[in-house]
Amino acid sequence: MPKLKSVFICSSCEFESPKWMGKCPNCGAWNSFVEDVVESEPASKKQPEVRQRGSVGKKGRAVPVDQIEEDTFIRSKTGLGELDRVLGGGLVRGSVVLLTGEPGIGKSTLLLQISGILGKKRKVLYVSGEESAGQIKLRAKRLGVAGENLFVLTEANIDRILEECESVSPDVLIVDSVQTTYTPESASSPGSVTQVRESALSFIAKAKNDGTSVILVGHVNKEGSIAGPKILEHMVDAVLCFEGERQQAYRIIRANKNRYGSTDEIGVFEMTDRGLSEVPNPSETLLEGRPKNVSGNCALCTVEGTRPLIAEVQALAAPTSFPSPRRTVNGVDYNRICLITAVLEKRLGIRFGDKDLYLNVIGGLRIEEPAADLAIALAMISSVKDKPVPDTLAAIGEIGLSGECRSVSGLESRIKECERLGFDRIAVPHRNLTKKKPDPASGVRLIPVRSVFDLLDLLE
């Protein structure tokens, strides 16, 4: 029997150390060491086997790029348009997708639902290391999922899973989750860096060798990053993140990495008592129950991938009782809010230094685009002055350090979305109007904004 030893492995770069360290000397990551048990034989002896397991292609020669034939991706629709959009048009044959998200967000539900739809045309093997077959059946019944092409296996041993794959030969293999699967050849416990790496390598090899589409479920740790080695994200073809507040019904899926499509698209779902249902018109949903005639609210239009989305930002500025005022920001970058606060203080003389500021984007949406600046600034000014922004006004534009309003891309599609949802006044960057004048529908007025000074005139 091989001798075992306990080591500490950096989950970021897999640097090995005999003792725990706060900072990894190799990659500089903090608090990244986790304990693992490995065999104490020299690494060089084990290496060939690991490499063989992980080999994803045939032995190759360098070829001039002109002579290479393009890969044609064979995609299968998952049946959920919102998910297909994020995947870049469907699940690619022979690809490995990692689906991550917090516990209880709906990963297993989503995968069982698409198994049912994919199982109508192709063979699907749903492997669970977390739930019993009876539990899965119960959930499948609730979701209305059935079919003779959908196979369920409750197993965590990778060798057994691969054996079953040989006999079932599925087109789609779903593994829920990569942290529960293990190989008995390694002495470390399931979920450890070594086990997660081994398990991912086995399934990637499976996908690349026989063209099975593999979906792996990945747990996240309490910091929100994927549990296991960082290398996991590099190895797979796509990393999808399932986000949302568990208390709210809305769930957003986005691609953090996608070798077969854009990473800008998002898919929106709603959790119902019969599983996840698609939300094809998220703007309407995000605006639902908007308070009317209240200060501190402003509608904005952001573009996620190719899709314009209307969202609402809320700001509340209240006198502080702390020596340094609070800044609580949800759904937008904190530094962006600091910048906008500084610009409004300096250019408009609005004091925020004596006020706590709370800022929130409704619906659990996260906005990364600077085009939201104008609406954020408007909501902040509105709260300080206690004057509401008109309900039918939406604001689009980026704010520069001199207080100027900078132009944004994709203005036409944003204006169209605003019109569709009944906004009749849209504050847009002045410079956008000088370039190519958009043509709004009758009754809709575009208000050019040159700088933050113009925002004061927009309040009621």
Task: State the CB neighbour count (10 A cutoff) for residue 376.
Answer: 27
254, containing H or E segment = strand 250-258
Please tell me whether residue 366 binds ligand TYD under the rule CB under 6 A.
no
Which range of residues in 270-278, 295-303, 331-339, 383-391 is near ligand TYD by CB under 6 A? 270-278
Q: Choose, by CB under 6 A, the member of 57, 103, 289, 349 that binds ligand TYD.
A: 103
Residue 420 beta carbon to ligand TYD: minimum distance, rounded to whole angstroms = 30
CA-to-CA distance for 375 and 360, rounded, in angstroms? 12
- Report the candidate in 376, 441, 433 with the shortest Cα–Cα distance to residue 408: 433
162 contacts 185 by C-beta, under 8 angstroms:
no
Q: Give the strand pairing for 393-395 and 297-304.
A: parallel
Q: Choose, by CB under 6 A, the member of 11, 95, 109, 360 that binds ligand TYD.
A: 109
- Which CB, 142 or 290, lies closer to ligand TYD? 142
Please tell me whether residue 219 binds ligand TYD under the rule CB under 6 A.
no
260 contacts 238 by C-beta, under 8 angstroms:
yes
Residue 130 beta carbon to ligand TYD: minimum distance, rounded to whole angstroms = 8
- Which CB, 177 or 432, lies closer to ligand TYD? 177
Q: Choose, by CB under 6 A, the member of 10, 193, 271, 411 that binds ligand TYD.
A: 271
- Which CB, 108 or 181, lies closer to ligand TYD? 108
Please tell me whether residue 107 binds ligand TYD under the rule CB under 6 A.
yes
Q: Which of residues 121-150 bind ligand TYD (CB under 6 A)?
A: 139, 142-143
Please tell me whether residue 113 binds ligand TYD under the rule CB under 6 A.
no
Which tokens sit at 86? 């994020």
Burial pattern 155-186, b for ≥16 Cβ within 10 A else e, equals bbebeebeebbeeeebbbbbbbbbbbbbbeeb
CA-to-CA distance for 260 and 182, rounded, in angstroms? 29
What number of chain residues touch ligand TYD (CB under 6 A)? Answer: 15
CA-to-CA distance for 206 and 217, rounded, in angstroms? 16
CA-to-CA distance for 198 and 235, rounded, in angstroms? 11
Please tell me whether residue 66 binds ligand TYD under the rule CB under 6 A.
no
Q: Which of residues 82-111 bind Mg ion (CB under 5 A)?
A: 108
Q: Which does 296 bind (CB under 5 to 8 A by kind): ligand TYD, Mg ion, none?
A: none
Contact residues for ligand TYD (CB under 6 A)? 101, 103-109, 139, 142-143, 271, 273-275
Contact residues for Mg ion (CB under 5 A)? 108
